[in-house]
Structure 1
Amino acid sequence: MNSIIETSTLSADDALQGAVIFGNTPDESRQAALGSRLDFYRQERDLVRNYVEALDEDLVTIASGVNAHDPTFGLAHLTNVLLNYDTLMSERMGELEVELKTLDGTLACCDNEDSECVTSTI
């Protein structure tokens, strides 16, 4: 399973010295906010995908009572809900990437899981 990793590189000394975290202009602040949202969605999507893998590999079981419904149905429904959430996050990430692109004229991130995010001019 994935764990949340702290990615902040701002130290307490930097903050005390007035380090600029989100930019000096409204556009820079907006870009930083969009980048932060993209990071959140990416991490959340990765977590959901790990849960889906666990369900597919039968690492999750549902203990049910005597008169309960078939637990297989519950797992299938849970998998379906998670996959729909994954799709929603991927779509939202695409919208944010387009918004970032229109702000600065560069492609800020790619959605290819096999490569790192890169910044390239269009």
Structure 2
Amino acid sequence: MAPSKTVAPANASAANVLSSVVNSYIDKTPQRTKLIDAFLGFLVLTGVLQFVYCVVAGNYPFNAFLAGFSATVGQFVLTVSLRMQSNTENKGAFEAVSPERAFADYIFGSLILHFFCINFIN
């Protein structure tokens, strides 16, 4: 007979992996990237709250809901792009883009996005 192997419970293994990922994120991620991630979390929370409000309270001024929700989603996409371009591990993919240029593009895109959203509200 083969010797029996001691197998750790799946929950303990998942908890160890999650703990390792969180500790690695805290130790190795630059403060700027953590700030961007916090803003991304805020945008997700805002989008969820807007959608829940639309479902619960109704969507009478539908243009206002669409403008607000699309502004949240658009800002999320622009912020993810900024995070990708400013991440030091992605230097090879964005050789021609400096962090300052990426931030300037982010600001310009955000202004255009919000200009169109405000005009959509009417």
Instruction: Give me the TM-score of the superposition, normalised by structure 2.
Output: 0.40
Which entry has the higher C-alpha Rg, 1 or 2?
Answer: 2
Which TM-score applies when normalising by structure 1? 0.40
Larger helix share, 1 or 2? 2
Q: Report 1 or 2 for greater relative contact order, CA contacts < 8 Å, sequence distance ≥ 6.
A: 2
